[in-house]
Structure 1
Amino acid sequence: MRPIALALVLAALSGPALACGPDALGVSRTLRVGTLGGGAVGLKTYPRTLPLAPGEVVLTFDDGPMPGKTERVLAALDAECVKATFFMIGRNAAAAPRLAARVLQEGHTVAYHSMTHPNMRHLGVAAAQANIDKGFQAVDEAVYGDAWNEPRAPFFRFPGFADSPALDSWLASRDIVVFGADLWAGDWEPMTPDQELARLLARLDRSKGGIVLLHDIQPRTVAMLPRFLRALKEKGYRIVHLVPGPGPLETRPAPAGWTSETERILRSSAKGAGG
């Protein structure tokens, strides 16, 4: 990532310090994720993840911004002085530019999730690259008011986690890190907010933390989020905020016997695994 781009992103994220009381969940630390040479993280898909300590949680939201829902997610995060990473779809950012810009203005990290959310494995490489680049451009125009040749923040998540070696290599050549997830609630499946909360907390208790995938377009997630954040506080979890950083990506390996859950799901379902 160009130094000037990194400086702009970090400046936008710094903002004034929030007056958080001791009862707020808050952010325990900010992790600067190196992107030089690219790379990929998230144990659901890749055999490595971020070097998080036990009990540390990274919150990520996909598919927004969505008027009527993303605002409520932002309000819930603000109430607990929490920061997250939003992987935006280009067409949604273009349709709601003020809301997209608000995400960054409130101190969250804005990342990318393609232009139209296709399954990239169903497209040719050139078409997939064009869709990704259009997503970069649309999000940056909505959030920053213009777009450069490279995305402002070099974080990308494939729709449905449907990557390919060719696309992974292409993104790595541009110093862009690919994000999977370590766990999810499966909030694209029919369930009540109570069921989603119980499922997500149970999975967190098994994994002892990690990169969490949620969707700010899902009403059930919007409804359960305030209680989820309070439960994280009560259970002693700590929030880590991600921002782009210098140097190469630092990771920790998957445990012995690891397999890719998303590859199994992608093989068995043309729809993929959410994301």
Structure 2
Amino acid sequence: MRNPLGLMLASLVMAVAIAGVWFWTSSPRADAAAPQTVAARAADPLAAAAKDDVDTTAALSTKRADATPAAAAPAPAAAPAPMPAPVASTQKCANPDALGISRTVVVDTTGGPGFGFLQYKQFDFLTDHEIVLTFDDGPWPTTPAVLKALADECTKAVFFPIGLHTTYHPDILRQVMAAGHTIGAHTWSHAHLASKKLTEQQAKDEIEKGFSAVKIALGANPAPFFRFPALAHTPATLAYLESRNIAKFSVDVDSNDFKSKSADEVIKNVMAGLDKEHKGIILMHDLQKHTAQALPTLLRKLKEGGYKVVWMKPKTQIETLPEYDAMMAKTEKVSTAPTRPVSSVIQTVAE
């Protein structure tokens, strides 16, 4: 005979168990995630990936081909990085009191116009206290000091390198280009093109070889800007430049730095010339040590004197002649940079 009390206890336990199961399955768990809002769902990896597709389509009119449901879920997407801004042609000047550039002029060299009133009086484009900085005879180991002085004052110049020198220091000429200056040419060997010892063909060769040498050193065509060594031209060389649409540069103020004995003398010569002319194209030489030394002070004096730099750029670059490019490519010097450290070749054994 069954115990009535035991049957009652068994029934009570069964009832409690059934109630517990019902409560567990019908009530929300304490550790369950809260319902997601629209904003919260957007952070879901798959939802973020889908949003990326929409954003990319809107911005670029393309859709990722690999964004399929079967693909593995990517990590939560961060906000898309902005597109990089275009690189500015010139860096922002860090010197608030710099000499700077007052204006930039673009030169149409069609017909070979001439600039510099010492010889060419065709185009009087500079106003009172406007100057153009020009440097001849580089590139040379002194050129980087000239570049630094110009960079410190956030200003620009026109350089007329000698072709032969570009074969010695192509890396320095590329520094001139990297700094954003205008680069023309100054013959191949600094030959005196008005010399009776030169034929018209030899004079032409000097001009073209100079431009081609600069092109090879830079890996780009230079400006169609040319200055005659010693400012010496002939009717034939002038006519040739005009036929090639190359602008010719003379001078208004000569620094005479090639015969100056100190940096102070270079500064004195330039400022005295400007006191007389009040404006103009200034001739200097980045090959001259005293010019490199004088330039930081000279640029400050120009600023203090109220002078403003005009930067000249060509409308188009020169198209060098293929035959001269080929000729100059053969003269380009092979790098002599050592492939072994000096200490492995030369060792001091006694002092």
Please give the TM-score of this superposition, normalised by the length of structure 1: 0.79
Q: Out of 240, 261, 266, which is 1:170 matched to?
A: 240
Q: Out of 90, 106, 112, which is 2:179 matched to?
A: 106
For 2:173, the aligned partner's letter is A
1:191 Cα deviation after fit: 2.3
Q: Matches of residues 131-150 of structure 1 in structure 2 within 5 Å?
A: 131-144=206-219
Residues of 2 paired with 1:152 and 1:85: CA distance? 11
Residue 60 of structure 1: aligned partner: 134
Query: Are the equivalent residues in 2 in contact too, given 1:65–1:216 (CA < 8 A)?
Result: yes
What does the per-residue CA deviation read over 1:146-198, in whole Å, with 9 as the maximum and x for residues that have no partner? xxxxx531100010111111111111111111100111111111422112211
Tell me the matched-pair count. Answer: 227
Query: Are the equivalent residues in 2 in contact too, given 1:41–1:48 (CA < 8 A)?
Result: yes
Stretch of structure 1 that moved more, 186-195 or 52-61: 186-195
Residues of 2 paired with 1:190 and 1:17: CA distance? 34
Residue 36 of structure 1: aligned partner: 110
For 2:228, the aligned partner's letter is F
Residues of 1 paired with 2:124 and 2:211: CA distance? 23
- Greater share of residues in strand: 1
What does the per-residue CA deviation read over 1:18-47, in whole Å, with 9 as the maximum and x for residues that have no partner? 224321111111111111111212112223
Query: Are the equivalent residues in 1 in contact too, given 2:116–2:249 (CA < 8 A)?
Result: yes
For 1:112, the aligned partner's letter is A
Residues of 1 paired with 2:95 and 2:138: CA distance? 29
Unaligned runs of 5+ in 2: 1-87, 317-351
For 1:58, the aligned partner's letter is V
Residue 255 of structure 1: aligned partner: none
For 2:199, the aligned partner's letter is G
For 1:36, the aligned partner's letter is T
State the 4+ residue runs in structure 1 displaced beyond 6 angstroms: none
Match of 1:21, SS state, is coil
Match of 2:315, SS state, is strand
For 1:186, the aligned partner's letter is N
The structure, 1 or 2, with the larger RCO (C-alpha pairs under 8 Å, 6+ apart) is 1
Residues of 2 paired with 1:88 and 1:50: CA distance? 25
Q: Matches of residues 198-217 of structure 1 in structure 2 within 5 Å?
A: 198-217=268-287
Identity %: 41
Structure 2 residue 149 is the aligned partner of structure 1 residue 76: yes
Residue 129 of structure 1: aligned partner: 204
Residues of 2 paired with 1:75 and 1:86: CA distance? 14
Residue 122 of structure 2: aligned partner: 48
For 1:126, the aligned partner's letter is Q
Change (3 A) 1:65 1:50: farther
Q: Cα RMSD between the aligned structures?
A: 1.4
Residue 119 of structure 1: aligned partner: 192
Query: Are the equivalent residues in 1 in contact too, given 2:260–2:266 (CA < 8 A)?
Result: no
Residue 92 of structure 1: aligned partner: 165
Residues of 1 paired with 2:270 and 2:311: CA distance? 19
For 1:119, the aligned partner's letter is H
What does the per-residue CA deviation read over 1:191-232, in whole Å, with 9 as the maximum and x for residues that have no partner? 221122112111112111110000001111111110000001
For 2:111, the aligned partner's letter is G
Q: Matches of residues 6-21 of structure 1 in structure 2 within 5 Å?
A: 15-21=89-95
For 1:82, the aligned partner's letter is T
Match of 1:86, SS state, is strand
